[in-house]
Amino acid sequence: MTAELPLFRRFPGLAGRLPRQPLCDLPTPVEDCGALADAVGIGGLHAKRDDLSAPLYGGNKVRKLEFLLADAQARHRREVLTFGFAGSNFAAATAFYGERLGLHCLSMLLPQVPSDYVRSNLSLGLTAGAEIFHAETVPRLACRAVLETLKRPLTGRRVPYWIPAGGSAPQGVAAYINAALELAEQVEAGLLPAPHRIYVAMGSMGTVAGLAIGLVLAGMASQVVAVRVVEKRFASAQGLSELLQRTLRWLGPEVAQQVNAAQALARVEVREEFFGSHYGEVTAKTAAAMEQFAGSTSLRLDGTYSAKAAAALLADADSGRLGEQESLFWHTFNARPLEGLLSTHGLDIPPAIRPYFAGC
Ligand SMILES: *Cc1c(COP(=O)(O)O)cnc(C)c1O
């Protein structure tokens, strides 16, 4: 039995609604990045190390999977179906943990510019045993219809457990409400000062939505600087507002009496200018942020998500906006090495995704 989560201590009634499969090592550590704060002339900087969220494969998706995979099990599903871009960290993490729990994973993946990390994540999914399908557009169909399109028969007459892209269903958001309450406890315990601003990458928006709700519940005044790293049609203030409302409805009155969507939304500042021209583009600012963090912290950033949040932080430091205030960088990328988790001999690569491996 792992220690009870702050979310369940605060709302005991939720424990029955939110089954949990413990995968994470919580709380994740906070790290003083004083050298970087000094170098860029700001009051203080800490990092929340969700890159170390679990012993074998970390990052922000594992917190969400604790609830999502447990829900699939509680509903006696044998398969899960998820979506994302070809290099999706979520699809890879779902395959890694789902298959270990005996849940067979189907991933429907959208085209993405090939790169080493895209290949690594595809390899991780294939090594785990996931079935990977190539999709041209985001499916808005029902699960059964998607399977028919794929011409794939149902296994055991039960439809797979459907997980939206990035795991940003209410259960996934709840995982980040818990994460904000966890941070509040670390502040309370004196491990770090309360941050004025929290910098985090925004993709499917579940992480930001959960943090915003959790900060209001914790009575913390911190603002979330949500750095958009996907196209606007996937992440916007409007979309965030809808996700906040949907999650609060799902959580029910026990939580919704204490926080509403407008209060949570008011905690979030969406930043658009670090996206670049397409998903996954490593812009000059992204590359510079990776280098600066590598030089003065122990953090290893990725170019699609975390380094874009880092670039926003560095830009705000540079403009003088952060002044003497305390900031927090929420590290969302998996820092555990993948090499040992990947099959070393011939993977059976489905034809549709072979182009990602061309020349390897
Ligand atoms: C998915 C992801 C995010 C964004 O989280 P969302 O909840 O989808 O907004 C940030 N960083 C990394 C490394 C991710 O894989």
Q: How far apart are CA 301 and CA 70, in angstroms?
A: 29
pLDDT tens-digit readout, 260-271 = 999 999 999 999
Q: Which of 233, 221, 174, 254 is nearest to 326 (CA)?
A: 221
DSSP assignment string, 67-121:
HHHHHHHHTT-SEEEEEEETT-HHHHHHHHHHHHTT-EEEEEEE-----HHHHHH
Q: How far apart are CA 70 and CA 22, in angstroms?
A: 9
DSSP assignment string, 130-192:
-EEEE-SS---S-HHHHHHHTT-PPSTTPPPEEE-GGG-SHHHHHHHHHHHHHHHHHHHTTSS
Pocket lining: 307 vs ligand 1, CB cutoff 6 Å? no
Given a contact cutoff of 8 angstroms between Cβ atoms, the answer to whether 211 and 176 are in contact is yes
Residue 343's pLDDT is: 79
pLDDT tens-digit readout, 298-312 = 999 999 999 999 999
Instruction: Please state the atom number of ligand 1 nearest to the C-alpha of residue 201.
Output: 10
| Average predicted confidence (pLDDT) for the chain | 93
Residue 154's pLDDT is: 65
Instruction: Please state the atom number of ligand 1 nearest to the C-alpha of residue 202.
Output: 9
Q: How far apart are CA 40 and CA 28, in angstroms?
A: 25
DSSP assignment string, 257-286:
TT--HHHHHTTEEEE-TTS-SSTT---HHH
* Residue 153 preceded by cis peptide, ω within 30: no
> Does residue 50 carry a pLDDT above 60?
yes
Pocket lining: 167 vs ligand 1, CB cutoff 6 Å? no
Q: How far apart are CA 144 and CA 106, in angstroms?
A: 13
Pocket lining: 82 vs ligand 1, CB cutoff 6 Å? no
Distance (Å) from CA 205 to ligand 1 centroid? 8
Distance (Å) from CA 206 to ligand 1 centroid? 8
Pairing of strands 104-110, 79-85: parallel
- Choose the weakest-confidence range: 13-17, 200-204, 249-253: 13-17
Give mean pLDDT, residues 330-339. 93
> Does residue 193 carry a pLDDT above 50?
yes
Sign of dihedral through CA atoms 275, 230, 311, 124?
negative
> Does residue 2 carry a pLDDT above 60?
no
pLDDT tens-digit readout, 213-226 = 999 999 999 999 99
Residue 347's pLDDT is: 84
Distance (Å) from CA 153 to ligand 1 centroid? 31
> Does residue 122 carry a pLDDT above 70?
yes
Pocket lining: 305 vs ligand 1, CB cutoff 6 Å? yes
Given a contact cutoff of 8 angstroms between Cβ atoms, the answer to whether 273 and 319 are in contact is no
Distance (Å) from CA 157 to ligand 1 centroid? 33
Pocket lining: 202 vs ligand 1, CB cutoff 6 Å? yes
pLDDT tens-digit readout, 89-109 = 999 999 999 999 999 999 999
Residue 1's pLDDT is: 41
Residue 358's pLDDT is: 84
Distance (Å) from CA 161 to ligand 1 centroid? 21
Q: Which of 215, 261, 177 is nearest to 8 (CA)?
A: 177
Read off the tokens for 232: 């606007």
Instruction: Please state the atom number of ligand 1 nearest to the C-alpha of residue 305.
Output: 11
Pocket lining: 80 vs ligand 1, CB cutoff 6 Å? no
Pocket lining: 121 vs ligand 1, CB cutoff 6 Å? no
Strand order in the sheet with 131-134: 131-134, 104-110, 79-85, 161-163
Give mean pLDDT, residues 312-324. 97
Given a contact cutoff of 8 angstroms between Cβ atoms, the answer to whether 46 and 33 are in contact is yes
Pairing of strands 44-49, 223-228: unpaired
Give mean pLDDT, residues 319-335. 96
pLDDT tens-digit readout, 146-167 = 766 667 766 666 788 999 999 9
pLDDT tens-digit readout, 223-259 = 999 999 999 999 999 999 999 999 999 999 999 999 9
Given a contact cutoff of 8 angstroms between Cβ atoms, the answer to whether 87 and 112 are in contact is yes
pLDDT tens-digit readout, 163-190 = 999 999 999 999 999 999 999 999 999 9
User: What is the pTM (predicted TM-score) of this model?
Assistant: 0.95
Pocket lining: 275 vs ligand 1, CB cutoff 6 Å? no
Pocket lining: 60 vs ligand 1, CB cutoff 6 Å? yes
Following CA atoms 324, 326, 330, 331 in sequence, which dihedral angle do they give, to the nearest 10 degrees?
60
Q: How far apart are CA 82 and CA 310, in angstroms?
A: 28
Which residue has tokens 């670090």? 274
Distance (Å) from CA 233 to ligand 1 centroid? 16
